[in-house]
Homo-oligomer: A and B are copies of this chain.
């Protein structure tokens, strides 16, 4: 079930000298944003790879990176792609 609107951005962040993959998705309200947050969390648990998830009214920002290597691994790109598919 995709509750997101058409507005969807993906970008490469460099925060605290660590490259991260960022996804920003917008929703119609807080509940829909929270459902998406839970879906991302379920995916993260399933894959044992955890992002940061910022949940706001109508908006969720997901950042993926690999803590061990303090940067991006192929797995992060896969997880970002899976986030898009949710």
Interface residues of A (CB under 8 A from B): 30-31, 34, 37-38, 41, 44-45, 50, 52-57
CB distance B30 to A50 under 8 Å?
Answer: yes
The complex places the Cα of A4 from the Cα of B32 at a distance, in Å, of: 26
Number of copies: 2
Q: Which residues of B contact A54 (CB under 8 A)?
A: 52-55
The chain B residue sitting closest to A40, CB to CB, is B55
CB distance A52 to B45 under 8 Å?
Answer: no
The chain B residue sitting closest to A56, CB to CB, is B52
The complex places the Cα of A34 from the Cα of B39 at a distance, in Å, of: 11
The complex places the Cα of A63 from the Cα of B52 at a distance, in Å, of: 15
The chain B residue sitting closest to A34, CB to CB, is B41
